[in-house]
Structure 1
């Protein structure tokens, strides 16, 4: 996942990423728009919300009709363009299991993250160091606002997130670990 140069728009921009063929992502964006977004827009008047993901449902598409500060893009050719153009990835995921690609991609791109504990489950990230976490709408909104108003915190999370991904998920690290596993297995059967 090669990084692209970040270009942040003038308006503070929140990003939501995920395929809408997966119900937990539909639930997450619904929670974001209905429960978190109103708290953010009251405190950061010029903020924007960008929703990116494959196969947005009619309800998801309708969010941009109801609020001119919400844009639903559906699939975009290069997801890195979304990460490089957002001040924060918001991931209010409360259900579902699997690989947390959107979290790892955001960190690799230097995009700060506000997420639920479920969204970062299994990644060994730390609140306040790599990401900001909360499991309530108000808590997440407060963290988003704090992050949008604190460029130093944005830089800290971006730097720490990139370093975290490089140290744990870089292919050279993974291949080295796999090689050790294969050698151990091979020596046990020799």
Structure 2
């Protein structure tokens, strides 16, 4: 293949599709670009991990790169990619200016994962025991960095419609810079209910989520202290199995056999675990983006009970795959109802399948996405002229970040010598 048709992804971490939805999302993006005919090179300054995917199996070239090191400039000049995809805004901050300087014609795409400033502003409001306000978002320090990064890029991939509305209405971002691309599923993700365990075969409740993610850890504490005792009182034989990658000692200490609250750690096979459960519980009190665990529940034919933040931007106008409740007593009550009543459970299961079919199938998005990428590649000059604020930020960032990075690089050289 012509080297000009290469796509460079600069990853915040190496993809771990079995540890988080973010890892699965990255593999979906790789597949989409490969289908468009791009040769994919994945580079990251991160350390290797035990659970990272073997990229060579997916025909992806793996490259290790360093922060604050001009060796990256030589690497990208030689590669001369057609497109550079930044995995989260922190990576764009580190490498965006180097890409702009060394490959000015490369299309710069940002995969936001979720809006970090929204997650952090909500978390802060929650910790301060008050309602989240839009003004919290404007005051959040990370917002200034994240919005600047979005403006500097030619296109930002968004997984949440609510976040697109915030960017357009609150931060006045031109919608031509944003593209809605949720988590994507292949047709085989639509479950065949005849092949899945039925209502009678399933038992117990499950929570699943990466413990390095603060909203997940908070949800587990909330289950332990508030919600699970209410459910357990009504369903004394029920058990809640809590699964997640990277459990710390404080997570493991919550394990209590007598209370039926079992910390199981990393799931070897997440689908298997969720398919055996009758209900998924996800009482998320802050966060952003859309929740891979809840989409996974739908794929497994497992109804879920979650909060408004858990379900945000996931179902459109369709009924939920279970119930959405913010009040802990009502949350527990709905979980008990769903657990005990087969008809309600079956209806919830059907709702989940309908959400997958109408909102998450890859075929709904891949054609339009390819068209959008080709349009930008053909019209990049005009597109950038229309984004004057982005060009302005690129100009100033290039100067400030460049000198800061060069200073760190020199300092590192001196400390080595």
What TM-score bracket applies, with the shorter chain setting the length?
Answer: 0.7 to 0.9
- State the match for 2:61 in structure 1: none
What residue is the counterpart of 2:357 in the other structure? 166
1:83-122 matches, within 5 Å, as 83-122=274-313
Count of residues in correspondence between the two structures: 190
**1:28 alignment partner, one of 208, 213, 219:** 219
* Structure with larger RCO (C-alpha < 8 A, sep 6+): 1
Q: Structure 1 residues 184 and 11, CA, compared in 2 at 3 Å: closer, same or farther?
A: closer
Q: How does 1:26-175 map to 2 (within 5 A)?
A: 26-65=217-256, 67=258, 69-125=260-316, 129-175=320-366
Displacement, 1:24? Answer: 1.0
5+ residue gaps, structure 1, are none
Deviations, residues 122-141 of structure 1 (Å, cap 9, x unaligned):
11356854330111211110
Task: From the superposition, tell whether residues 63 and 10 of structure 1 become closer, same or farther in structure 2 (CA, over 3 Å).
Answer: farther
SS state at 2:309 partner: coil
Question: Counterparts of 2:231 and 2:268 in 1: how far apart (Å)?
Answer: 29
Q: Does 1:6 align with 2:6?
A: no
Match for 2:207 among 2, 7, 16?
16
Q: Larger deviation: 97-106 or 138-147?
A: 97-106
* Equivalent residues of 2:280, 2:302 under 8 A apart: yes
Aligned-residue CA RMSD (Å):
2.6
The answer to whether the 8 A contact 1:15-1:52 is kept is: yes
| Structure of greater Rg | 2
Given that residues 204 and 239 in structure 2 are in contact (C-alpha distance below 8 angstroms), is that contact kept between their aligned partners in structure 1?
Answer: yes
**Pair 127,99 (structure 1): closer, same or farther in 2 beyond 3 Å:** closer
Secondary structure class of the residue paired with 2:240: strand
- 1:94 partner SS: coil
Per the normalisation by structure 1, the TM-score is 0.87
Superposed CA deviations along residues 96-141 of structure 1, whole A, max 9, x for unmatched, are 2233111111112111010000011111356854330111211110
> Which whole-Å CA distance do the structure 2 matches of 1:11 and 1:171 have between them?
29
- Deviation of 1:67 (Å): 3.2
Instruction: Determine the C-alpha separation between the residues in 1 that align with 2:241 and 2:200.
Output: 12
User: 1:63 and 1:6 mapped to 2: Cα distance?
Assistant: 31
Q: Deviations over 1:56-89 (max 9, x none)?
A: 2223212223635222221122210111011111
CA shift, 1:6, in A, is 3.2
The whole-number CA distance in structure 2 between the counterparts of 1:23 and 1:95 is: 9
Any stretches of 5+ residues in structure 2 without a counterpart? Answer: 1-184, 383-417
Moved more, 149-158 or 68-77: 68-77
1-10 vs 81-90, which moves further? 1-10
Mapped to 2, the partners of 1:61 and 1:9 lie a distance apart of 30
Alpha-carbon distance in structure 2 between the residues aligned to 1:127 and 1:116: 16
Q: TM-score, normalised by structure 2?
A: 0.42
CA distance in 1, matches of 2:200, 2:216: 25
